[in-house]
Chain A
Amino acid sequence: MTQQLVRGTHSVDPAAGHSAAAPEASVPVPPAADQASVSWAGSPWAGARRFLAKPGLVLSVLVLALVILWALVPQAFTQWPPDTGVPSSRLKPPSAEHWFGTDSLGRDLFSRVVHGSATSLAATAVAVAVGLVAGSALGLLAGSIRGWVDDAIMRVMDVLLAIPSLLLSLALITVLGFGTINIAIAVGIASVANFARIMRAETLRVSTAVYVEAARSSGVRWHSILLRHVLPNAAGPVLALSALEFGMAVLSISSLSFLGFGAPPPSAEWGSLVAGGRDYLVAAWWLVTLPGVVIAAVVLSTNRISHAFQDSERNGR
């Protein structure tokens, strides 16, 4: 106890104090109380104010929203066509007319980035969906059946974690073949183990809770327990992981299409745009630099958002 007092006198900066003091949940809270504390304390205005007080988070959400809009309505953001170039304006540096400059065929790079975001984001969404669905299902199975099923599934997951995910994706691409959808599936499968681990841990945590035992002893069947108690309570951490994996998937997919395993040339995906600029490193710096900035901004934003999910999760419990 005295040690606790001593700790209080030491001045660390607020961020450190926060992370050190944040208690890990040891006692599961019943769903009703859980929901009450997870929802932003009090009125929606308080939540909005707290959100606006974090400029980094606001910016991240804006970046992500902008990129999603690029993917949905690309023509609203640029009047240049992505695939037909003007031969007279080859390799022009960024200007008011061409924000990101033009490539070796005179195509507007900004337009190619905007139009490419649909491919990149769709592939990322497929990857996260594959990981989320397959991983959660495996984790749920392992955590609720226990016994040898648990052992078998988790040993396989351990082995998948032992192999670097990019290498695992590459091995899968060898078999699945090239193309954007295939690299998305490969990246998704490579992230299954992470989802399975989180889901299993959450399942174990929730299924030992008193209210679940109460439900079980009053004759609620196992599938209703899973649907009503386990899944909603596991959603938070799994969602935080999904946001994190979204960023990782953007990186993996752009890396794989940079390496040349994505869709063939005319289509523009962020990674292949950077790869296309490789031959013009000396003459046209913007061809590599600017699409890369977009990728980094998106990943930075999703990581920040995932961080916010984790924080609210931690404070909520």
Chain B
Amino acid sequence: MIRYIGQRLLQGAFVLWAAYTVSFLILYLLPGDAVSIMASGDEQNAVDPALVEKLRAEYGLDRPLYEQYFIALFKALQLDFGLSVKNGVPATQTVAEVLPETIKLAVAGFALAVLLGSALAVVAAFSRNRWIRQAFSSLPPLGIAVPTFWIGLLLLQFFSFRLRLFPAIGNDGGQSLVLPALTLAIPTSAVIAQLLTRSLRQTLGEPYIEQIRAKGASEALINFGHALRNAAIPTLTMLGILVGNLLAGAVVSETVFSRAGIGRLTVTAVNSRDIPVVQTLVVLAAVIFVITSLIVDLIYPLVDPRINTARGAKV
């Protein structure tokens, strides 16, 4: 087991290195010269050549490419992603300051999404009524198709302005968390519901379900004790990507509700072309992906004892 975790950590380290390298290539080497982008702020302003040269020396961008890369990589290993262009604070610190707000939002959103998604799937797959089944299985495609920012604005319009139930903007208290978390949860829950409904229906057609039924198990035990547990596995596989998408959803949700957090930070960083902060955020997304995949791998054997991840996936 320990050896397995070690192996996975090595793989994770590789993904992080690769994510860092890809983002370095995109941000520092692609057409627009990083320094003049940062010096100008936006394209309209004239660029002061002296400032460019000064910045270039400061960031070490006057050296050969491979040298720049190794220096930057070495610094990144010490969690130094450079200074934020906007206020000269280390980029990692800028991100770390607002990270807790987004974690709160993402955890609330994810919990809501899992609840909502599983509830939809359970009704869509287990209900005996054809109409209910059809109504509930037509909801997820709808949830996937609607733009997140639009859901947020509609919720804002209805619950904050019309019913005055929740504050429209800001970060204070649990009240202000409800609508942003719901905005984040709706698209994610639609994906969960779709995956889970499909695998639940498939599982219910399996011979062993018939056998349990023949042995006299109650429908509740069949549905929740056996089918749900077996059907959860394909959904679990998608968890890494779903959690990553929460981060993307936070960009929209935090902008709509004017909440502080890394989503809003991403928008302001792109707006002011703050490359060190953008790179920190990209690498952070990769870190989150790696951690979630590791957790998912460790959860597998708990859900299905036949899968022994430590000895390679055996089913």
Contact = CB atoms under 8 A, between A and B. Distances in A.
A288 B32 CA distance: 35
A17 to B, nearest CB: 7
A275 B252 CA distance: 12
B150 interface: yes
Nearest to A170: B270
Given A13-B130, A176-B32, A259-B267, A171 B147 contact: no
A171 B282 contact: yes
A296 B37 CA distance: 35
B255 A16 contact: no
Nearest to A248: B144
A227 interface: no
Contacts of A173: 270
B300 interface: no
Interface in A1-50: 3, 6-7, 9-10, 12-13, 15-17, 19-20
Interface stretch (A93-101, A110-118, A250-258): A250-258
Contacts of B289: 162-163
A215 B282 CA distance: 46
Interface stretch (A121-129, A130-138, A195-203, A277-285): A277-285
B35 interface: no
Contacts of A161: 241
Contacts of B157: 281-282, 285, 288-289
Interface stretch (A81-89, A141-149, A152-160, A204-212): A152-160
Contact of B154 (A160, A162, A289, A295): A289
A255 B210 contact: no
A16 B202 contact: yes
A310 to B, nearest CB: 13
Interface string B135-172: 00100011011111110011011000100000000000
A156 B18 contact: yes
Interface stretch (B23-31, B50-58, B176-184): B23-31
A9 B206 CA distance: 11
A167 B285 contact: yes
B37 A281 contact: no
A177 B201 contact: no
A167 to B, nearest CB: 5
Contacts of A155: 18
Given A163-B289, A171-B282, A175-B31, A20 B147 contact: no
Interface in A257-284: 258-261, 271, 274-275, 277-278, 281-282
Interface residues of A, number: 59
A258 to B, nearest CB: 5
Contact of B205 (A16, A159, A247, A260): A16
A166 B244 CA distance: 10
Interface stretch (B60-68, B92-100, B108-116, B273-281): B273-281
B205 A20 contact: yes
Contacts of B22: 156, 159-160, 163
B215 to A, nearest CB: 13
Interface of B: 15, 18-19, 22-23, 26-27, 30-32, 34, 37, 43, 130, 133, 137, 141-142, 144-150, 153-154, 156-157, 161, 198, 201-202, 204-207, 209-211, 240-241, 244-245, 247-248, 251-252, 255, 266-267, 269-271, 273, 275, 278-279, 281-282, 285-286, 289-290
Given A167-B282, A171-B279, A176-B30, 12 more contacts: A19-B198, A20-B205, A158-B15, A161-B241, A166-B248, A167-B248, A167-B266, A170-B267, A171-B23, A175-B32, A271-B147, A295-B150
25 contacts: A6-B207, A7-B207, A12-B201, A15-B201, A20-B205, A158-B15, A159-B286, A162-B19, A162-B240, A162-B290, A167-B266, A171-B23, A171-B26, A174-B275, A176-B30, A260-B267, A274-B150, A274-B153, A278-B153, A282-B161, A288-B157, A289-B157, A292-B154, A295-B150, A303-B141
